[in-house]
Structure formats: structure tokens, C-alpha cells
Amino acid sequence: MCGNGIRIEWPRTEEGRARTVITRSGAHRRYMVPCFRGGLREAHGDAPEERDAFILLDACAGVEFQEQPARILFEWRGTQHEHFPDILVLAQSIKEFWECKKDQESLDLEVRRRTERLTELLSPLGFGYRLITTSQLDQERLIENAIRMRRRATLMIPDHVSRRINKLGLDAPAIPAARLFGSYPRDLDDHISLLYACLYQGVLTGNLREPISIDMDVMRPSLKEVKPWVWQLFDQIN
């Protein structure tokens, strides 16, 4: 795929990666994260920020992603440059390449100027480019909640629970989850597991910056929402 001053080269590999991250003789720690959407697979990264991004993206309904997705050749300052973005993220009308950096690395002038240049060149091709930092990923209980939601990724939601959820209006105000699942102590473990599964599958939404509990306020996702919750959290920070 080519544009003015830029070319995207997609890999022809079974796993969809443009470069190999995990090797037997790796000089530093690598990260392998099992992901559950679209079939069980592993996402490979070479930084903890990439690992956390994989976890959040896999926990967010309506999102697909590919790590090490492409080789980008682009013109900058009169010379040709090569760049391997960390992640390609697809969600509804969103197509973005992500580069994951530590907070201090993101302040580097070279990194910021490259981000600006790639954003400019990729836009006519229909792609965004986003610099993701440690502080964006490490928000309060966000990663912990995502991990717990992912543990219930394959849990089936019973029909009677689905019927209760469907009775909620799409634009109805939030209600405590206990009203949907019950709050008896003997059922609490089952109910919280169902809540995790509903949040993971996107049939319910809530404030994921706070601990997930049976007392949290939940609602059906509104038809007015145009972005998955990961982007809504990023927008709040920005």
C-alpha cells in the first residue's frame, strides 16, 4: 500500500507479524500474551507497555489487533526511513497503528517528530497513528480489571441473564449489577464471574477505572457510543 512519501508493506506470514520478536537467544525479556478474541492465539511483544496494550485490547469488545503488523517505509528530512509499529488496531471505523513507549521515551523529540510525520503521511491512507505511554496504560484498576475479565472470556452467559439485560433500554440509566445478577452471598462468586463475562463480551459496560464489583453501576452500551471504552479512557487523559 503506497501513499505520498510512504509505503506500507504487509507481511506474508501465517502469524501476521512483520518481524520476529520471540527468539530462543533473545538478549532481553520478551512477552507472550494469550488472546481470546477470534480464536486462541498469542501476541508477542518486547516491552511491558506492549504486553499491557495486548491485555487491554483483548479485553475490549469490538476490537481486533495485530502485533508487529507491518514494515513502513517513509520519507523524512530528505531520507528514507524504516519503521515497525508495535500494533495495528481495528475497531468499528478506527484503523490505527500504535507505538508503545515508556513515559520518558515518549518525551524524546525524535520520537515525537517521527510520530507527527507518520500521522501526517498515514492519514490520506485512512490510518491513524497513536503514541501510547505507560501512564495511559497504567490507570488505577484498569489492567487488573482487564485481566479478570479475560479469565472469563469463554464463560457462556445464561439465557435468563441475557433476557434481563435485553430488557434494559439502550439509553437507560446505569443500575447496580446486583439488580441483574442478585446479591446473595452464596451466589456471589457465580454472579461476579457472569459480570466479568458480560463486560468482556460487551453486552454491559461500566466504569472500568474502578474495581469491578457486584455493586458497580452497569448499563447496556449506548447506540450513541462510537468508540470502544479503551479510546474513551485515552480521550479522558488527553
Predicted confidence pLDDT, tens digits, the chain (238 residues):
888 899 999 998 878 888 887 665 555 568 899 998 877 889 999 899 999 999 999 999 889 999 999 999 999 988 999 999 999 999 888 899 999 999 999 999 999 999 999 999 999 999 999 999 998 888 768 889 999 999 998 888 888 888 888 888 777 888 899 888 765 445 656 888 999 999 999 999 988 888 899 899 998 887 666 678 787 666 654 4
Identify the pLDDT of residue 238.
47
- 3-state class (DSSP) for residue 117: helix
The Cα–Cα gap between 192 and 170 comes to: 22
CA distances (Å), origin 105, targets 81, 83, 131, 184, 185: 19, 16, 10, 49, 47
DSSP single-letter state for residue 19: S
Identify the pLDDT of residue 223.
66
Q: Which three cell numbers stand for residue 98?
A: 500504535
Torsion of Cα atoms, 150 then 154 then 158 then 163, to 10°: 60
Pairing state of beta strands 64-67 and 87-91?
antiparallel
Please, is 195 exposed, middle or buried when counting C-beta atoms within 10 Å of its C-beta (0-12, 13-18, 19+)? Answer: buried
Identify the pLDDT of residue 75.
93
The alpha-carbon radius of gyration of the chain (Å, integer) is 20
Identify the pLDDT of residue 217.
93
Identify the pLDDT of residue 22.
66
Beta carbons within 10 angstroms of residue 51's beta carbon: 21
With vertex at residue 98, the alpha carbon angle to CA 83 and CA 93, rounded to the nearest 5 degrees, is 120
- pLDDT tens, residue by residue, 8-35: 999 988 788 888 876 655 555 688 999 9
- 3-state class (DSSP) for residue 64: strand
Identify the pLDDT of residue 210.
86
Please, is 119 exposed, middle or buried when counting C-beta atoms within 10 Å of its C-beta (0-12, 13-18, 19+)? Answer: middle
CATH level 2 (architecture), domain 2-137:
3-Layer(aba) Sandwich (3.40)
**Where are the domains positioned within the chain?**
2-137, 157-237
